[in-house]
Amino acid sequence: MKNFCRTIIFLCIFLIVPIQRSLSQVILTPHVSGSAFEQFKSYCFGYYNPISCYETIQTWTIQSTKEDECHVSLGTHSHVIYRRTEYWAYIMRTEFDFRTILEFEIAEKHGENPFPPPWMTTWNWKAELQGFKVIAGTENPFVMLFKQRDYFSDGILEFNDFHSADHFITYLFEEPPPQGSYLDPIDITNVLREDIFGVAPKNFTGFVLKTDKPGQIHLTSPHIVITDEGSQTPLPTPQPLFRVTLDLSGSLFLPGDLFKLDVHIEKPDSQVYINQPLIVLLDVHGEYFFYPSWHQDFDFSAIDIDEHIKTVNLLDFVWPDITGSASGLVFYAAILNPSFSSIAGNWDSVTFGWTKNE
């Protein structure tokens, strides 16, 4: 059972596509790439003690050049200044966070060629992000790759892109590799399939790279390589692609806060879908608990999706007064196909923590 649970968890994070002979290939270079920055400053001062405070937030962007090797940067930095005279105390804290934005054009034409090309169907290809090369960096940051929210994937780099990260895809690395090395290719087939062949095909697909640890890393921009997997015998039966979104009432909970977790499932057409497997799991630092029983044995809920957007309430309670604190807890959710062999659409996740009032 433990191995089976690990298999389901793996499916909820990566859609595995069998590797077969390569017939054709398309390479997409970034339409726009660069970094979005946010600077947060807080000032506190007072007579003997710094009690009066105010803060400022500024956001801006820097776009990469269009050269063959356009560099992208990301990282965080925090700096605190404390000064005290005989009568006055002053504290200034500065936090500086910058994230990489990558947007690729997937409109009807890519250059002079039609896109998607005639050989591409919904299921006969795989897509990878390739070409990340480490230019320079510190020993601290690890890098996370997120899908960019559809609203922000518009082919324009602007300051709002700083807040455009949607669902988590994977870690590029947790320990920075040596300078000059290339990162392993990253499978983005499931993400790109939804953008190209989903309910509402997109003109652009975007990605966000960010780190929550102090330090900096500089990389060359990658490209998307789409490879023909050849014909499959038999061809997989097309499955409806559902759009799943988790909605949590907060990210850090204190005693007395409302803890409400919903999942919204958008279906692609007017058909009613019966007994669709809804998988929701809670990851507590490597310990997994499955909805609806919230036990560690594998569990799921068979739901009927009879509305354009169906909402299922998963949890609804007031956070209790408990000691200690925790962070980095993650809920994952997805709809699987009836055979439980793949994700029928996308998956989503939300991260939260809790602490106690001081």
Same domain, 125 and 6: no
CA-closest candidate to residue 129, choices 208, 231, 210: 208
Last residue of a domain, one of 186, 211, 231: 231
Judge contact between 276 and 302, C-beta under 8 A: yes
Same domain, 8 and 55: no
d(CA 245, CA 179): 37
Is residue 220 situated within a structural domain?
A: yes
Token pair, residue 10, equals 């793996």
CA-closest candidate to residue 344, choices 230, 233, 203, 194: 194
Distance of CA 73 to the CA centre of its chain: 18
Same domain, 296 and 157: no
Same domain, 215 and 304: no
In which domain, by residue range, is 197 found?
Answer: 31-231
Same domain, 131 and 260: no
Last residue of a domain, one of 198, 231, 264: 231
Is residue 23 situated within a structural domain?
A: no
Same domain, 109 and 59: yes
Backbone angles phi, psi at 16, to 5 degrees: -85, 130
Side-chain half-sphere CA neighbours of 232 within 13 A: 18
Residue 54 pLDDT? 65
Same domain, 269 and 158: no
Last residue of a domain, one of 213, 231, 249: 231
Is residue 325 situated within a structural domain?
A: yes
Residue 335 pLDDT? 92
Is residue 329 situated within a structural domain?
A: yes
Same domain, 223 and 84: yes
Count of domains for the chain:
2
Residue 67 pLDDT? 44
Is residue 22 situated within a structural domain?
A: no
Is residue 164 situated within a structural domain?
A: yes
Backbone angles phi, psi at 57, to 5 degrees: -130, 130
Block residue for tokens 């405070």: 53
Is residue 218 situated within a structural domain?
A: yes
Could you read off the pLDDT tens digit of each residue along the chain, which spans 358 residues? 444 444 455 454 433 333 333 347 888 888 888 887 777 777 676 665 656 666 777 666 666 654 444 455 655 656 666 666 666 666 777 777 778 888 998 876 555 677 888 888 888 899 999 988 887 776 666 788 899 988 888 888 887 888 888 888 888 877 778 888 888 899 999 889 888 888 777 889 999 888 777 767 777 778 899 998 865 444 445 567 899 999 999 999 999 999 999 999 998 888 888 888 999 999 999 899 999 999 998 899 999 998 889 999 999 999 998 888 899 999 999 998 877 778 888 899 999 999 987 5
Same domain, 221 and 240: no
Same domain, 273 and 323: yes
